Amino acid sequence: MLLGDARSGKLADNLSGFGRALRRAGVPVDSARIALAHEAALTVGVQSKPDFSAALEAVFISREQDRFVFRELFDAYFRDPEVAQKLLSQMLPTAQGKAEPSKRRPRVSEALAPQKKFGSPGPAAAETPVEFDAAMTASDGQRLRNADFNQLTASEYLLVERLAREVPLPLPTFPARRTRAGQRGRAVHWPRVLHEAARSGGEPWRLARRTRREEPLPLLVLVDVSGSMERYARMLLAFLHAATRANRRRDVFAFGTGLTDLTEAFRIRDGDMMLTHVSSLITDFAGGTRLGNALAQLRQHHAHRLVGRRTLVLLISDGLDTGEPAELEHELAWLKRHCGRLLWLNPLLRFEGYAPVARGAAVLHDKADRMLAVHNISRLQDLAGSLARLVRHDRRHV
């Protein structure tokens, strides 16, 4: 059989439609991969479904976080024998897979939703009755503002990611050693006095005072890139990249089973290019979490990144550590001695009644100065206020 031959079958149309469904689910798929999928199908054949699935997965999937989405979508897509007829009419399949629609991932459910042709009129009102639900009368913006990052569909996730880049994060400031001209101060700022006197014929008319500059706290960010943190890590990297762009001291590291320095990648101004570069740098994605080992590497090779006792450390993790609790406790104690504040940003706080009962989470909860939630846009907007209140509390007790 010739693949895609109209006289013998429509498998080529099925593969192209499956590629479009993957793209709608947020998997990076282009025409080159679809063409390569056709060659893979010719090579392995369609006699064995597991072999056929493995061949397509090897072609289409290049990121660990997309693997389970592919498998669930493949099972639902190629289960219905009438899917080819639906593809011919430019409709994506709504076949029932092994997983019930209510239990599917949001990305898979969105990819399997019917799509109408571009420019075609919608269904008549008599054919599709409109039902109003009082619980859904709020605007989409308000709903997305409070939606958990892990429960968003692919299109909603891209929209919320753009919204996250617009959330401000004014970090608390401290009086630096450098000075500037101002209205108050003990000493005269002679460079400003002489500069202004040159404009008035050499006659000084105002004595500017020397005041200390206010600079944002040095920032150290540690982001967990294990499998359970995949969607939160990407969203928070995009958020922090835009919100802390003005910081002179900003060091960023990703950790899984090891430590990856992302500081140079964060200097890329374009957010999408930054995320692409970060993906190429991280080699231990979805490989588990060993925070103690990562902090040991930070201590041995990057201790100079901690600026005295002023550095604000943001540790983004769900606390599901697989390393030794004793090692984690030792390294966290070192980090506490060399930073100003250690804040644990935990997406698991989205669950009511959450308690850090896991071994690593218990150690982290004991050592961190504060635990904050970061699972939706609303929580990101509250983060700046939480930081400001924490620093004001510190200054009152100094």
What is the CATH classification number for the domain harbouring 391?
3.40.50.410
**Residue 135: inside a domain, yes or no?**
no
Looking at the fold, whether 196 and 281 belong to one and the same domain comes out as no
Same domain, 237 and 248: yes
- Does the residue 276 lie in any domain? yes
Residue in the block written with tokens 């050592």: 367
Same domain, 182 and 232: no
CA angle, 90 as apex, 87 and 96 as ends, to 5°? 50
Are residue 235 and residue 207 in the same domain, yes or no? no
Task: Report in angstroms the alpha-carbon separations of 217 from 214, 324, 333, 341.
Answer: 9, 31, 21, 10
Q: What is the pLDDT of residue 7?
A: 38
Q: Compute the half-sphere exposure of residue 368: CA atoms within 13 Å on the CB side of its CA.
A: 20
257 within a domain of the structure (yes/no): yes
Residues 91 and 200 in one domain: no
Give DSSP secondary structure letters for 110-125: HHTS--PPTTPPPPPT
From CA 137, how far away is CA 133, in angstroms rounded? 7
CA distance 255 to 285: 9
Evaluate whether residue 25 is within a structural domain.
yes
Q: Are residues 298 and 366 in the same domain?
A: yes
DSSP 8-state symbol, 188: B
Note the pLDDT of residue 88.
37
Report which of 357, 268, 371 is spatially closest to residue 320, judged by C-alpha positions: 357
Number of domains in the chain: 3
The range of the structural domain enclosing residue 223 comes to 217-396
Are 204 and 218 in contact by the 8 Å Cβ rule? The answer is no
**How much is the pLDDT for 394?**
56
Low-confidence residues of the chain: pLDDT under 70: 1-9, 80-140, 174, 286, 391-398
Predicted local confidence at residue 398, as pLDDT: 39
DSSP-assigned states of every residue in 315-358: EE------S-HHHHHHHHHHHHHTSSEEEEE-GGGGSTT----S
Report pLDDT for 267: 93
In a domain, 188, yes or no: yes
**pLDDT tens sequence across 267-289:** 999 988 999 899 889 887 767 78
Rounded Cα–Cα distance for residues 142 and 135 (Å): 12
Do both 27 and 57 map to the same domain?
A: yes
Residues forming beta bridges with residue 21, ordered by sequence position: none
pLDDT of 34-62, one tens digit each?
889 988 988 988 888 889 999 999 999 88
Q: Where are the alpha helices (DSSP H) in 78-153?
A: 83-88, 106-111, 140-145
Distance, CA of 246 to CA of 248 (rounded, Å): 6
Give the chain's count of helices (H) and strands (E): 15, 8
Q: How far apart are the first and last CA of the chain?
A: 80
Structural domain contains residue 123: no
**Tokens 């320095």 label which residue?**
261
In angstroms, the CA 167 to CA 382 distance is 10
Q: Are residues 333 and 202 in the same domain?
A: no
Report the amino acid identity of residue 147.
Answer: A
- Give the global pTM: 0.65
Domain-ending residue, one of 96, 111, 126: 111
Q: For residues 270 and 221, give the distance between their C-alpha atoms in angstroms, rounded to a whole number.
A: 19
Q: How far apart are CA 22 and CA 93, in angstroms?
A: 12
Contact 10, 4 (CB under 8 A): yes
- Does residue 289 share a domain with residue 376? yes
Largest Cα–Cα separation, the chain: 96
Predicted local distance difference test score (pLDDT) of residue 201: 78
CA distance 17 to 33: 13
Confirm if 362 and 356 have CB atoms less than 8 A apart.
Answer: yes
Q: Is residue 153 part of a domain?
A: no
Domain shared by 332 and 367, yes or no: yes
Q: Tell me if 170 is assigned to some domain.
A: no
What is d(CA 342, CA 331) in angstroms, rounded to the nearest whole number? 13
Instruction: Please tell me whether residues 205 and 221 are part of one structural domain.
Output: no
- Please identify, among 215, 245, 264, the residue that sits at the C-terminal boundary of a domain: 215
Check residue 130 and give its pLDDT: 36
Pure H helices in 216-302 = 230-243, 271-281, 291-301
- At residue 252, the 3 state secondary structure works out as strand
Domain end residue (candidates: 215, 231, 261): 215
Whether 321 contacts 360, CB under 8 Å: yes
Residues 184 and 65 in one domain: no
State the angle between helix axes of 49-60 and 11-24 in degrees (0 to 180), rounded to the nearest 10.
Answer: 50
- Cβ neighbours, 10 Å, residue 345: 28
DSSP per position, 199-210 = HTTT-----PEE
